[in-house]
Structure 1
Amino acid sequence: MDWNRWYSLKSYLRSSLWTVPLIAVAIYALIKPLTEMLGRWMIGQHLLDPKTGFFGLSMTGARSLVGDIVSADLAFLVFTFGSLLVAIQVAGGQYTPRIIATTLLRDNVIRGTSGLFVFALLFANRTLAWMGEEQVHQLQVFLAALFGFASVVAFLFLIDYAARFLRPVSLVARVGALGIAVIDSVYPAPATGRIAALKATGERRVPDRIVRHRGKSGIVLAVNLKRLVAKGRRTDSVIELVPQVGDFVAVGEPLFYLYGNASAIDENRLRALVALGTERTMEQDPMFAFRILVDIALKALSAAINDPTTAVLAIDQLQRLLSVVGKRSLYLEEIEDSSGQVRVIFRTPNWENYVHIGFREIRQYGAGSIQIARRLRAAIENLLQSLPEHRHHALLVELDLLDRVIDKQHLFPEDRALARIADSQGLGGSVTSSSGD
């Protein structure tokens, strides 16, 4: 299987809810025969009384207990998947549809509990069908009761977990944590403050060969950089990926520019090192985390929802991400092999791109809210204090734009003065009062 197909399959399985229940079915198929063999062995070794067993249940009592477990697990499954569908609709409508695949469907707690319900249901149903007219399979009944009790506990935990998980603060914090993990993987080196110069600019002005996209149009999800570097070194060439991760590429558009010994490269194998899909993912796309948070803030600031406090929570995470990415070296355009030769050109967003997506749209839509204006100022001032000096220019531009839009949005001088106070809470802090107690 080509790398891009394997990556797309792996990404799909990670965001699919049905995979864990399917694994639970496979585990059941393995565990159930083993427990039946163990039960027979324990009876044969007189370690288990076939009449009294663990609970001392009669046939009627055992059938009733296991039947209740089957009914309970079936109800748990129906309730879980029905509630998840409602949660997806609510989250997509009030926050952004982009959090569905990145957070809701990838949550291991939801997937794991649904797998437990499936396993307990199958185990109890098989135990009920396996019981004869005269003998109660005590070990099977005991295990079915144990799995049923675990299902009840897991169901109660899932209700509490889902109620907490779907809160705005939990969702934006989850996106922020995922964004930091991606930043750590894409930008591992700390910022140096120096602007690097391209080593092979003259060689790459006119490509020797252009590799165009074939197949289906899609969004660039990830690139196998190690194999690209190895391919460039093996053929003594330079490979430039034209789109960035997260860009849409239509059929026939340039996918690679090749320089040097370009004729030695197989186009199909080169295309196989780029994974494309219908929806952006976070694996190699740190900008996508910013996009999700900004979308949540913009949806909260819309007239239909009008929830600026949720937008403030999103700005909290944007400040968190900017404070991390601002301390990393963002220059990864030229990737060298072990001998120091440039082999791959791979463009990533620069600092200005991150600042623009973090502040521009929120300022345009939310500067009329004093709460948003104050929180944006607090974020910018905090970043100015915590980030190195070479990151300040883009932040100062945003601060100047914020001051200008405040003058335009607020007619009264008192409102303008209040909007210019940096407040990490939006409204509720960082205000010096002249009144008495």
Structure 2
Amino acid sequence: MRARLENLWDSFRTSFWFVPTIMSLMAIMLAMGTNQLDSLLASSDRQLSWFSTTALAARSTLSSVAGATIALAGVVFSITIVTLSIASSQYGSRLVRNVMGASIADLVIGQYIGTSLYCMLILQNVREAHGDSPAFTPQVGTAVGLCLGLISMGMLIWFIHHVATAIQAPTIILEVSRDLNEAINRLFPERIGEAAEKEIDEEALEDQNCQTFDEILSGVGKYNITVPSKREGYIEGIDGGSLISLGQELNGVVELMCKPGDYITQDQLLARVWCQDQTETEEDSEEQIETVNNTVNRVIIIGLRRTPRQDVTYAARELVEIALRALSPGINDPFTAMSCVDRLGGALGRLVERSCPSQIRRDSESVPRLLITTADGFAEVLKYSFGMIREYGSSNTTVSLKILEALTGITSHASRPEDIEVIRQEAEALQTAFEEHHLVKADLISFQQAFDQLNNLLESSLRMTREPELS
């Protein structure tokens, strides 16, 4: 349930309707409150001199504010659409989600629509004396409407400043890199179902982690329920806690055959649920299979696109996409690509320090309940991050040197031999691609010097990781 709520909140956060709707409801409640306050003041015959106004002045003020703010809402909406169009063509349509999430357009539009709605609701209560009907001028309501109008003017200046800075490449790269860093913090070491694990003795934990999938499944039994997908699309998130609860309920193990970011076709295998005992009657067996299928399909969230909440590879891909577009012949902006490489290097330097989460998830009693057969680790993210940039950027000397610099920075944080070997493979692949594209001796010398520096650091780091094993 938590994963679904987080995914729902992420879709709300990157939409343009959620905040204006909330602010419109707040405007309605504010109008009702100020009307009640004005009614109390009118019945008590008390006058607030600094709020005092006439019915004609109140009507004119509220009408002007309501008309001006709703017109400004249209202007802000038009500017926002132009901004999104530029971001889509310059950085890629998939980056529109990040621009929308970081934009204040929904807040500004909500302010303008809410102010206009408030003024119209107050305006209908302005009455002049007619026959036996007494005059009523909402003093407080008019003053609040005027204050909201002044705030709206200030927000217009703020919005123009925000648009001028938000469309710049460094700002967009910063926002995308924040998504990547947040994904790393969420998923390493915390993964799906991690909160359900109980702290146990370190030696016992080491013994448990040495168990293989076959050993765990052999202790459960041969009866299993295969769960096909009922929908087609990308996996946006997986509620691991619910899958662990399902394993506890059935006294079995859930073998997860997919991961966030995978594209799933209809009827494709999502998971196998291994149970201790099969139900006695055929009717109960069919009911159990249907319940398991519905539960697994509910907790595996399938949508239209990938999201970075549980998919660290996709978070890195967003930076890669900006870099590749910058390196295209039509744009030819290596400086933007170098900024992306810097951000990727910083994020992967943090990632290589994190411990790889176990693919065996346990319940509160340390019983295996969830087996994750596929998962992205440092090696996959590194290859995905620099592989495509190497392919298109190896012909550019400065970009290639920047990649070596990033790999050097990542190596300084690496402490596992397998991670160091992956970095070495990526550096050697870059060396091969660079030498194929360059014949200028000065460029080759510069690259070789940077490569030798990285290679020496790799050798030093590898010796340091082997020393504890030899001792």
TM-score range, shorter chain: 0.7 to 0.9
1:100 pairs with one of 91, 96, 101: 96
Structure 1 pair 8–402 and aligned structure 2 pair: CA distance change class (3 A)? closer
What CA deviation, in whole Å up to 9, does each residue of 1:106-152 have, x standing for no partner? 23633222211111111122233332236542212111110011111
**Alignment map for 1:167-206 (pairs within 5 Å):** 167-188=168-189, 197-202=210-215, 204=217
SS at match of 1:245: coil
CA distance in 2, matches of 1:216, 1:258: 19
Matched, 1:340 2:373: no
Deviates more, 1:257-266 or 1:392-401: 257-266
1:113 pairs with one of 92, 95, 108: 108
2:62 aligned residue = 66
* Equivalent residues of 2:223, 2:277 under 8 A apart: yes
CA distance in 2, matches of 1:278, 1:307: 31
Gap runs ≥5 in structure 2: 130-135, 192-201, 279-287, 452-471
The Cα of 1:330 is off from its aligned counterpart by 2.2
Structure 1 pair 199–271 and aligned structure 2 pair: CA distance change class (3 A)? same
**Alignment map for 1:235-246 (pairs within 5 Å):** 235-246=250-261
1:34 aligned residue = 33
**Alignment map for 1:354-373 (pairs within 5 Å):** 354-373=381-400
2:337 aligned residue = 311
What CA deviation, in whole Å up to 9, does each residue of 1:188-246 have, x standing for no partner? 369x9x99644332455997435343432011111111111121122121111111110
2:462 aligned residue = none
2:467 aligned residue = none
* Equivalent residues of 1:315, 1:376 under 8 A apart: yes
Q: Quick one: percent identity of the two aligned structures?
A: 21
* Equivalent residues of 1:374, 1:421 under 8 A apart: no
Matched, 1:350 2:377: yes
The residue identity in structure 1 corresponding to 2:306 is R
What CA deviation, in whole Å up to 9, does each residue of 1:293-324 have, x standing for no partner? 11111111111211111111111211121012
What number of residue pairs does the alignment pair up?
416
Structure 1 pair 216–356 and aligned structure 2 pair: CA distance change class (3 A)? same
The Cα of 1:262 is off from its aligned counterpart by 7.1
1:261 pairs with one of 276, 279, 283: 276
SS at match of 1:338: coil
CA distance in 2, matches of 1:198, 1:160: 57
SS at match of 1:149: helix
- The TM-score normalised by the length of structure 2 is 0.81
The Cα of 1:417 is off from its aligned counterpart by 2.5
Structure 1 pair 276–53 and aligned structure 2 pair: CA distance change class (3 A)? same
CA distance in 2, matches of 1:177, 1:4: 20
Structure 1 pair 60–189 and aligned structure 2 pair: CA distance change class (3 A)? closer
Deviates more, 1:208-217 or 1:227-236: 208-217
CA distance in 2, matches of 1:6, 1:184: 19
1:407 aligned residue = 435
* Equivalent residues of 1:330, 1:349 under 8 A apart: no
Deviates more, 1:234-243 or 1:2-11: 2-11
1:77 aligned residue = 73
The Cα of 1:337 is off from its aligned counterpart by 1.6
**Structure with the bigger percentage of helix:** 2
- The TM-score normalised by the length of structure 1 is 0.87
What CA deviation, in whole Å up to 9, does each residue of 1:135-194 have, x standing for no partner? 54221211111001111111111111122122111111112112222221211369x9x9
1:431 aligned residue = none
CA distance in 2, matches of 1:173, 1:314: 9
1:12 aligned residue = 11
The residue identity in structure 2 corresponding to 1:333 is Q
SS at match of 1:275: strand
CA distance in 1, matches of 2:212, 2:41: 74
1:227 aligned residue = 242
CA distance in 2, matches of 1:340, 1:377: 43
Deviates more, 1:157-166 or 1:373-382: 157-166
